[in-house]
């Protein structure tokens, strides 16, 4: 086994929309190492269906999109950050098209080819650009093809980032570390990266590190997210001392395909289906969203998911029904080819009957705190995409705003670095980091232990930290997680490193952050609903910001989270 050192100007961790767009841009400024823990297209991005929210229609406006986003965010969005993404949207979409992205188009009344605009929950206008219901797949195709033609970018597939390189790895005493952290004086120099096939841990040093590792859906028993979504970047940044915020706001998508006896990743039935008029009923045919919200099925996601949850608890049913069959086979096959085919494989003909659906964990609004240029509180560590907390989503993300956020913030990070080239020179000052210490480790043959711990954490989060929370359940979750975390940390110290172990440790860290955030927020707001505090309380109209030396602080909303 051999550990190597790789040096580049930029280290990009993650190959979803945030990592790929940043890598493409960064390659104009220097060399890029792009590390991804599975195959290059394995990402949440690849599964995106609905599309990217952007103001394109002459009848729409920046103000409308901003207002819809702020309304969904339940008083916790940072309006400046929202304006940034909304105003930059059209330019970024044009760039994607220039890079080869093929969005679905239609011919308008004047015979002109225009982008087809879909509708989703919480949007007052049609403004979602999409590639039928395969937007993410098409995005990954276009971006990966672009990357393949850029010689300054070297892609490392099947390489898992383990920890960020900071002063921490240089053996500073805990007091030094404490002092350094309290001054917000930590620098990132790259990361330790595990080569999955060999078990070697390599040193990747870089002047700038971009964390674009996506979300945390795998923390829950039922999720729309693929296997990669284990919160690695957030856990790594947190361990390194970065500020992390808004972790209590987990978005549950109202409509994932219910299949009897199946667990794990639930296939998404896009909100765009409701955007085309689909209705939700219970098994007795009652349209239960009527009277709950003026937008009915197109109410913001938190409202729809909570109403379905209440409906299921009341009735004891296992699913509710989503009906779009009235649109007919020709339309459905063209507009939603993936959903049509996937349901067909399961014996469900969506042109002839309703689809059984349940909510599933979908998106994390919180993450590593960044400023308007994607900078985290750790020097030279940038974060973009679902791992970041930019202030855009507040307490609830508006549908299809996340792909937009990823491209806009990756672009802004690149602009910032291009204007501050001194950042790139700073990499030559990197200290000599020790090779990964493998001494004293043994093979953890009992893989089953890891698997069970993972399932324990996922079940715990689903049962106690789900759509509806209570103090009692949150306290119980905290106690149980403490026991699991002790076991997991023990394996981690004693075992040979494997990608599964890295992920398990990160899952436990991120689960802890979600539980702590939820315990701190003694109100109900947006995606965080606690029956012990059913109302919104504006003394909590603040971000709950945490960092690893034990601080948990409520930061007032004032411009960007830090500057």
Written as six digits, the tokens of 60 are 């729409």
> Any contact of residue 49 with ligand SIN (CB under 6 A)?
yes
CB of 217 to ligand FAD, least distance (A): 6
Residues 104, 207, 245, 270: which binds ligand SIN (CB under 6 A)?
270
Question: Binds 12, which of ligand FAD, ligand SIN, none (CB < 5 to 8 A, cut-off by type)?
Answer: none
Query: Which of the stretches 22-30, 396-404, 450-458, 477-485 binds ligand SIN when contact is defined by CB under 6 A?
Result: 396-404
220 closest CA partner among 464, 461, 507: 461
> Any contact of residue 17 with ligand FAD (CB under 6 A)?
yes
Report 248-277 residues binding ligand FAD (CB under 6 A). Answer: 268
Its sign, for the CA torsion 541, 547, 550, 551, is negative
> Any contact of residue 138 with ligand SIN (CB under 6 A)?
no
> Any contact of residue 392 with ligand SIN (CB under 6 A)?
no
99 closest CA partner among 54, 39, 128, 139: 139
Report the Cα 416 to chain-centroid distance in Å. Answer: 23
| DSSP of 33-53 | EEE-SSSTT-SSGGG--S-EE
**Residues 27 and 6: beta-carbon distance below 8 Å:** no
8 closest CA partner among 156, 110, 139: 156
Q: How many residues bind ligand FAD (CB under 6 A)?
A: 44
Q: Tell me the three state secondary structure of residue 556.
A: strand
Residues 42, 200, 271, 311: which binds ligand SIN (CB under 6 A)?
271
Report 356-375 residues binding ligand SIN (CB under 6 A). Answer: 363
CB of 407 to ligand FAD, least distance (A): 9
Its sign, for the CA torsion 496, 497, 500, 505, is positive
CB of 277 to ligand SIN, least distance (A): 15
Question: Binds 212, which of ligand FAD, ligand SIN, none (CB < 5 to 8 A, cut-off by type)?
Answer: ligand FAD
Written as six digits, the tokens of 560 are 């960007």
Written as six digits, the tokens of 390 are 């930019």
Helix axes 402-419, 135-148, angle to 10 degrees: 30
Question: Binds 36, which of ligand FAD, ligand SIN, none (CB < 5 to 8 A, cut-off by type)?
Answer: ligand FAD
Q: Tell me the three state secondary structure of residue 441.
A: coil
Question: Binds 18, which of ligand SIN, ligand FAD, none (CB < 5 to 8 A, cut-off by type)?
Answer: ligand FAD
Cα end-to-end span (Å), the chain: 43
Neighbours of 521 (CB within 10 A): 23
CB of 357 to ligand SIN, least distance (A): 11
Q: Which is nearer to ligand FAD, 156 or 319 (CB)?
A: 156
**Residues 55 and 33: beta-carbon distance below 8 Å:** no
Catalytic residues: 301
Report 119-148 residues binding ligand FAD (CB under 6 A). Answer: 135-136
Q: Which is nearer to ligand FAD, 227 or 487 (CB)?
A: 227
Residues 16, 50, 217, 526: which binds ligand SIN (CB under 6 A)?
50
Written as six digits, the tokens of 429 are 């000052």
Q: Which is nearer to ligand FAD, 363 or 529 (CB)?
A: 363
CB of 386 to ligand FAD, least distance (A): 4
Q: Which is nearer to ligand SIN, 136 or 499 (CB)?
A: 136
Residues 134, 240, 399, 504: which binds ligand SIN (CB under 6 A)?
399
Residues 6+ apart with CB under 8 A from 539: none
Question: Binds 271, which of ligand FAD, ligand SIN, none (CB < 5 to 8 A, cut-off by type)?
Answer: ligand SIN
Q: What is the Cα–Cα distance from 467 to 312, expressed in whole angstroms? A: 12
> Any contact of residue 400 with ligand SIN (CB under 6 A)?
yes
Q: What is the Cα–Cα distance from 299 to 305, expressed in whole angstroms? A: 10
380 closest CA partner among 8, 10, 6: 10
Report 333-392 residues binding ligand FAD (CB under 6 A). Answer: 363, 385-387
Residues 54, 251, 402, 530: which binds ligand FAD (CB under 6 A)?
402
Residues 6+ apart with CB under 8 A from 508: 453, 457, 481, 484, 485, 488
Residues 218, 376, 400, 453: which binds ligand FAD (CB under 6 A)?
400
Q: In this chain, which residue has its C-beta nearest to ligand SIN?
A: 50
| Interaction pattern, residues 31-70, with ligand FAD; x per rule: CB under 6 A | ----xxxx---xxxx-xxxxxx------------------
Q: Which is nearer to ligand FAD, 275 or 385 (CB)?
A: 385
Q: Which is nearer to ligand FAD, 272 or 474 (CB)?
A: 272
Residues 12, 155, 272, 510: which binds ligand SIN (CB under 6 A)?
272
Helix/strand/coil (H/E/C) assignment for every residue in 280-335: EECCCCCCCCCCCCCCHHHCCHHHHHHHHHHHHHHHCCCCEEEECHHHCHHHHHHH
Radius of gyration of the chain (CA): 23
CB of 251 to ligand SIN, least distance (A): 8
Residues 6+ apart with CB under 8 A from 463: 473
Q: Which is nearer to ligand SIN, 361 or 450 (CB)?
A: 361
Binding stretches for ligand FAD (CB under 6 A)? 13-19, 35-38, 42-45, 47-52, 135-136, 160-161, 212-215, 224-225, 228-229, 232, 268, 363, 385-387, 400-403, 406
Binding stretches for ligand SIN (CB under 6 A)? 49-50, 270-272, 363, 399-400, 402
């Amino acid at each position: 086994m051999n550990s190597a050192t790789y040096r580049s100007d930029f280290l990009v961790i993650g190959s979803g929309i945030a990592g790929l767009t940043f890598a493409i841009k960064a390659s104009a400024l220097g060399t890029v190492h792009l590390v991804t823990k599975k195959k290059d297209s394995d990402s949440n991005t690849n599964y995106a269906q609905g599309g990217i929210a952007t103001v394109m229609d002459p009848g729409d406006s920046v103000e409308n999109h901003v207002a819809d986003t702020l309304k969904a965010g339940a008083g916790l969005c940072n309006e400046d950050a929202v304006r940034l993404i909304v105003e930059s949207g059209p330019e970024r979409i044009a760039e994607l098209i220039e890079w080869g992205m093929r969005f679905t188009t239609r011919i308008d009344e004047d015979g002109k080819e225009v982008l087809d605009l879909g509708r989703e929950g919480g949007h007052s206008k049609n403004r979602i650009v999409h590639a039928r219901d395969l937007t993410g797949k098409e995005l990954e195709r276009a971006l990966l093809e672009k990357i393949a033609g850029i010689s300054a970018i070297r892609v490392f597939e099947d390489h898992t980032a383990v920890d960020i390189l900071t002063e921490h790895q240089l053996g500073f005493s805990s007091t030094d570390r404490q002092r350094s952290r309290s001054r917000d004086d930590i620098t990132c120099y790259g990361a330790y990266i595990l080569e999955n096939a060999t078990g070697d841990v390599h040193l990747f040093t870089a002047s700038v590190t971009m964390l674009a590792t996506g979300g945390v859906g795998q923390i829950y028993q039922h999720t729309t997210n693929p296997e990669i979504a284990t919160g690695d970047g957030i856990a790594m940044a947190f361990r390194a001392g970065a500020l992390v915020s808004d972790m209590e706001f987990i978005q549950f998508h109202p409509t994932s395909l219910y299949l009897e006896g199946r667990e794990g990743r639930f296939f998404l039935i896009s909100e765009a289906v409701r955007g085309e008029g689909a209705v939700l009923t219970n098994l007795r045919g009652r349209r239960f969203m009527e009277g709950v919200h003026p937008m009915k099925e197109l109410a913001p996601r938190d409202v729809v998911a909570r109403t379905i949850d209440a409906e299921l608890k009341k009735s004891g049913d296992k699913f509710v029904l989503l009906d779009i069959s009235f649109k007919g086979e020709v339309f459905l096959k063209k507009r939603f080819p993936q959903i049509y085919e996937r349901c067909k494989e399961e014996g469900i003909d969506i042109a002839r009957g309703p689809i059984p659906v349940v909510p599933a964990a979908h998106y994390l609004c919180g993450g590593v705190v960044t400023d308007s240029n994607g900078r985290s509180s750790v020097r030279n560590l940038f974060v973009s995409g679902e791992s970041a907390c930019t202030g855009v989503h507040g307490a609830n993300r508006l549908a299809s705003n996340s792909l937009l956020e990823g491209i806009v913030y990756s672009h802004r990070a690149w602009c910032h670095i291009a204007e501050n080239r001194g950042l790139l020179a700073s990499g030559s000052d990197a200290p000599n980091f020790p090779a990964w210490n493998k001494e004293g480790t043994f093979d953890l043959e009992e893989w089953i232990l890891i698997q069970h711990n993972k399932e324990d954490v996922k079940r715990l989060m689903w049962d106690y930290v789900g759509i509806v929370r209570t103090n009692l359940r949150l306290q119980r979750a905290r106690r149980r997680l403490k026991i699991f975390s002790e076991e997991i940390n023990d394996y981690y110290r004693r075992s040979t490193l494997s990608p599964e172990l890295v992920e398990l440790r990160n899952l436990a860290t991120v689960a802890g952050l979600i539980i702590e955030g939820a315990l701190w927020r003694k109100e109900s707001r947006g995606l965080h609903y606690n029956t012990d505090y059913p109302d919104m309380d504006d003394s909590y109209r603040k971000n709950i910001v945490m960092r690893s030396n034990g601080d948990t602080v409520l930061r007032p909303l004032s411009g960007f989270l830090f500057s």
